[in-house]
Amino acid sequence: MQYVIVGLGGQGILFSSKVLGQIALSRGERVLGSEVHGMAQRGGSVISHFKIGSYHSPLVRAGEADLLLAFEQGEGFRNLHFLRDGGMLVVNVHQKEALENERLRSYLDSRRIGVRAIEGYEILKKEMGGRFLFLNVLILGALSATVEGGVSYDEVKQAVAELSPERFRTENLKVLALGHEALQG
Amino acid sequence: MLSKRQILLGNEAIARGIVESGCAVATAYPGTPSSEILPAVAAYADELGTKTAVEWGINEKVAFEVAVAASFAGQRACAVMKQVGMNVAADGIMSVAQFDMAGGFLLVVADDPGPHSSQTEQDTRFFSMFAKLPCFDPSSAEEAKRMVFDAFDLSERHRIIAVLRPSVRVDHCRQDVELGDVLDVPNRAEFKKDPKRWVCLPAHVRLSHPRLNAKIDAIAEEFESAFDSYNYEVPASSKPKLAVIAGGVSFSIVMDILKAMGRTDVAVLKIGTPFPLPVRKVEDFIARHDNVLMLEETYPVMEMQLPDRTKIKGRWNGFVPRAGELLPEIIEGLLCRALGEERPSRSDEALKAALQELKVTPKPPALCPGCPHRASYFAIHKALPAAIHPSDIGCYTLGINQKMVDSVICMGASVSQGSGFFLAHHVDGKEQPVVSAIGDSTFFHMGVPGLINAVYNRHAFVLAILDNRLTAMTGGQSHPGIGEKLRKGDEGVAVDIVSLIKGCGVRHVEVIPAYDVTAGAQAVRKAWQFARENRTPSVVVFRHPCMLLRPRQDRISVTVDREKCVGCRYCITNFNCPGLVFDDEAGKARIDERFCVSCGVCRFVCPHGAIVAVGGEEA
Per-residue model confidence (pLDDT) at position B208: 96
In a domain, B355, yes or no: no
For A7-53, write each residue's pLDDT tens digit: 988 888 889 989 999 999 899 999 999 988 766 667 788 899 999 99
Per-residue model confidence (pLDDT) at position B2: 43
Identify the domain boundary among B517, B548, B579. Answer: B548
Q: Does A96 touch chain B (CB under 8 A)?
A: no
Within chain A, which residues score under 70 in pLDDT? 38-41, 185
* Closest CB to B174 among A21, A39, A62: A21
CA B212, B218, B221, B226 torsion: positive or negative? negative
Closest-CA residue to B10 (of B229, B182, B167): B167
Q: A37–B33: do the CB atoms touch at under 8 Å? A: yes
Q: A43–B256: do the CB atoms touch at under 8 Å? A: no
In a domain, B344, yes or no: no
Bridge-based pairing of strands B135-136 and B162-164 is parallel
Per-residue model confidence (pLDDT) at position B58: 96
Q: Does A163 touch chain B (CB under 8 A)?
A: no
Per-residue model confidence (pLDDT) at position B617: 58
Question: Which value does ipTM take for this structure?
Answer: 0.93
Q: How many CB atoms lie within 10 A of CB B588?
A: 19
Per-residue model confidence (pLDDT) at position B224: 97
Q: Does B4 touch chain A (CB under 8 A)?
A: no
Q: A31–B7: do the CB atoms touch at under 8 Å? A: yes
Structural domain tally of chain B?
4
Co-location of B94 and B23 in the same domain = yes
For residue A121, give the chain B residue with the closest CA: B594
Per-residue model confidence (pLDDT) at position B1: 40
pLDDT (average), residues B137-158: 98
Mark out the alpha helices in B26-140 (DSSP H runs). Answer: 37-48, 60-72, 83-96, 124-131
pLDDT (average), residues B186-195: 94
- Classify each residue of A140-168 as buried b or exposed e, where b means 16 or more C-beta atoms within 10 Å of its C-beta: bbbbbbbeebbbebebbbebbeeebeeee
The whole-angstrom distance between residue A18's C-alpha and the CA centroid of its chain comes to: 12
Closest-CA residue to B39 (of B25, B51, B27): B27
In a domain, B78, yes or no: yes
Identify the domain boundary among B501, B525, B548. Answer: B548
Q: Does A74 touch chain B (CB under 8 A)?
A: yes
Q: What's the CATH number where B307 sits?
A: 3.40.50.920
Closest-CA residue to A3 (of A58, A56, A41, A75): A58
Q: What's the CATH number where B601 sits?
A: 3.30.70.20
Per-residue model confidence (pLDDT) at position B3: 54
Q: Does A161 touch chain B (CB under 8 A)?
A: no
CA B558 to CA B590: how far, in whole Å? 10
Range A2-182 has CATH code 3.40.1190.20: no
Q: B348: pLDDT confidence band, cut at 50, 70 and 90?
A: confident
What's the domain range around B441? 372-548
Q: What's the Cα-to-Cα distance from A157 to each of A24, A38, A48, A120, A184, rounded to whole Å? A: 14, 29, 21, 18, 15
For B393-445, write each residue's pLDDT tens digit: 999 999 999 999 999 999 999 999 999 999 999 999 999 999 999 999 999 99
pLDDT (average), residues B79-94: 98
If phi > 0 it is left, if psi is from -120 to 50 it is alpha, else beta; for residue B109 that is beta
In a domain, B365, yes or no: no
Shortest Cα distance from B10 to chain A (angstroms)?
Answer: 9
CA B222 to CA B276: how far, in whole Å? 10
Measured at the alpha carbon of residue B76, what is the angle toward residues B75 and B82, in degrees to the nearest 5?
130
User: Could you tell me what percent of chain B has a pLDDT over 70?
Assistant: 99
For residue B143, give the chain A residue with the closest CA: A56
Co-location of B49 and B157 in the same domain = yes
* Closest CB to B117 among A40, A62, A78: A40
Q: B363–A34: do the CB atoms touch at under 8 Å? A: no
For residue B175, give the chain A residue with the closest CA: A32
Residues of A in contact with B173 (CB under 8 A): 32-35, 58
In a domain, B618, yes or no: no
Q: B253–A57: do the CB atoms touch at under 8 Å? A: yes
At position B434, the amino acid (one-letter code) is V
Q: A34–B329: do the CB atoms touch at under 8 Å? A: no
Q: What's the CATH number where B396 sits?
A: 3.40.50.970
Helices A169-182 & A135-144 angle (0-180, nearest 10):
50
In a domain, B361, yes or no: no
For residue B326, give the chain A residue with the closest CA: A59
* Residues B596/B560, Cβ–Cβ less than 8 Å: no
Co-location of B33 and B127 in the same domain = yes
CA B265 to CA B248: how far, in whole Å? 22
Co-location of B270 and B335 in the same domain = yes
Co-location of B14 and B118 in the same domain = yes
* Closest CB to B256 among A33, A55, A75: A55
Per-residue model confidence (pLDDT) at position A59: 96
Domain ranges of chain A: 2-182
CA B565 to CA A72: how far, in whole Å? 28
Is the pLDDT higher at A133 or at B540?
Answer: B540
Decide if pLDDT at B238 tops 80. Answer: yes
Residues of B in contact with A39 (CB under 8 A): 32, 116-117, 365, 395, 397-398, 473
Identify any residues that bridge with B95 across adjacent strands, giving them in sequence order: none
Strands of the sheet with A83-92, listed across from one edge? A114-118, A83-92, A65-70, A2-8, A45-52, A31-34, B173-179, B4-9
Per-residue model confidence (pLDDT) at position A145: 96
Q: B593–A130: do the CB atoms touch at under 8 Å? A: yes
Per-residue model confidence (pLDDT) at position A184: 84
* Residues B170/B7, Cβ–Cβ less than 8 Å: no
Q: Does A37 touch chain B (CB under 8 A)?
A: yes
Q: What is the mean pLDDT of chain B?
A: 95
Co-location of B458 and B482 in the same domain = yes
Per-residue model confidence (pLDDT) at position B14: 98
Co-location of B541 and B566 in the same domain = no
For B243-269, write each residue's pLDDT tens digit: 999 999 999 999 999 999 999 999 999
Decide if pLDDT at B618 tops 60. Answer: no
Q: B7–A21: do the CB atoms touch at under 8 Å? A: yes
Decide if pLDDT at B161 tops 50. Answer: yes
Shortest Cα distance from B525 to chain A (angstroms)?
Answer: 31
Per-residue model confidence (pLDDT) at position B125: 98
